[in-house]
Amino acid sequence: MKAVILAAGESSRLWPLNRKHKALLKVMGKSLIWYTIAGLRRARIKDIIIVQGPQRDIERELKDRKIKYIVQSKPEGMGNALWQVKRIIKGPFFVLNAERIDAGEIIKKIPQKEPILVGQKTKNPQLFGIMKLGRNRVLEIVEKPKKKAPSNIKVVGVYLLEPNFFKYYQKVKKGRYDFEDALSLYMKEKEVKAHILKKSEEETPFLKYPWHLFSVTKYLFDKNLGSKEVRIGKNVKIFENAVIKGPCYIGDNCIIGNNSIIREYTNLEDNVLIGANAEIVRCIFQEGTHIHSGFFGDSIFGEGCRVGAGTVTANRRLDRGEIKPTGLTSLGVIIGQNTKIGINVSLMPGVLIGSNCLIGPASVVFENLQDNTTLYTKFKNETR
């Protein structure tokens, strides 16, 4: 049995964390695709093919010679990515998204004898492909229905298909959703079973938008750490009076300053510096980010960011309402790579800030900032 992992997309919906493929974001020192592959191998699927983009960033990150890598030269969708492996598929095969970190657990429960689509109940059908069902058979997939959905069962992103699927793909009009169109055509002539997961929505994470990385991280923490465990890497320096409350992960060569407080579900990758008198809760810091005193709650920082002392991320609205369009009531800031922030900056709830931005001291950021933006504010935002 083969598994084809699709990792060639541009991850555009994950801005500002999309400078590289979303499956290369790290949690507990490993990229998300590493967890996907490890799960497949635990499910005894060792013949793994990865379809990646022309930059070959997946291959460089993994350095795994047991995997076969195929390049999709242009980001022309899931169907086209799968088409690239047609010549090397001879029997039934799994197809899954690169960030499907629970794929191994799902596959263990699937009867591997006939075509299957894995589904799960959802309260947000507008975000997913939705199954139209009949007697436990999938009849059609309706992509992101805006009005009435055919069911409340979303497509999870794990498929068991046969090689003759490619004949149906050849027949459909090529476009953004040609994979789903080919599946619907395939299902009109072939019986495709639905395997509906029994777990709740929260226990099966997905990664469509950047704030979904919080639920992915929580899932991995709950699976791999004790409820109060703090896992600390090599050469970490923790100074006097610092307090760390688990579950937390601190990577290699990190520095935790005097009197800092690091609270539950915080993930610090390698070479992160937390200055003195900082408070951090439920945050995700990618490699090499440095911050100083201030409050950082429910926030994500990309690689190599620099944040001045006294900076505060507001993570709740004054009325405690939803931070749109996320569906969350607690969300700080999400920042791309290599952004620099001056001292005493205030960041409002749910603000997204791109890569390579420069934010001047004492600025107040109310709105999203695109990549490469410079912002200094006095009484109003002035960008250039």
| Window from 175-184, 256-265, 362-371 with minimum mean pLDDT | 175-184
Q: Are 169 and 179 in contact (CB under 8 A)?
A: yes
Confidence of residue 205 (pLDDT cuts 50, 70, 90): confident
Confidence of residue 239 (pLDDT cuts 50, 70, 90): very high
Over residues 41-59, the pLDDT tens digits come to: 999 999 999 999 999 999 9
What residue type is 114 in one-letter code? Answer: E
pTM of the model: 0.92
Q: Are strands 30-31 and 26-27 parallel, antiparallel or unpaired?
A: antiparallel
Q: Where are the domains of the chain?
A: 2-211, 232-383
Over residues 327-347, the pLDDT tens digits come to: 999 999 999 999 999 999 999
CATH (residue range 232-383): 2.160.10.10
- Which one, of 174, 194, 81, 73, lies nearest residue 131 by Cα? 194
- Cα separations (Å) of 48 from 38, 352, 382? 11, 35, 50
| Window from 80-84, 169-173, 176-180 with minimum mean pLDDT | 176-180
- Cα separations (Å) of 364 from 136, 285, 306? 53, 22, 17
Return d(Cα 179, Cα 80) in angstroms, integer.
Answer: 8
Predicted confidence (pLDDT) at residue 150 exceeds the cutoff of 50: yes
Q: Which residues pair with 243 in a beta bridge?
A: 261
3-state SS string over 253-316?
A: CCEECCCCEECCCEEECCCCEECCCEEEECCEECCCCEECCEEEECCEECCCCEECCCEEECCC
Largest distance between two CA atoms of the chain = 68
Predicted confidence (pLDDT) at residue 384 exceeds the cutoff of 70: no
| DSSP assignment string, 197-222 | --S-GGGS---SSGGGHHHHHHHHHH
Tokens representing 318 are: 């004054």
Q: Are 5 and 246 in contact (CB under 8 A)?
A: no
Can you give the pLDDT at residue 199? 61
Architecture label for domain 2-211? Alpha-Beta Complex (3.90)
Over residues 92-101, the pLDDT tens digits come to: 999 999 999 9
Tokens representing 379 are: 């009484």
| DSSP assignment string, 341-379 | E-TT-EE-TT-EE-TT-EE-TT-EE-S-B-TT-EEEESS
Can you give the pLDDT at residue 201? 45
Q: Are strands 193-196 and 311-313 parallel, antiparallel or unpaired?
A: unpaired
Over residues 268-281, the pLDDT tens digits come to: 999 999 999 999 99
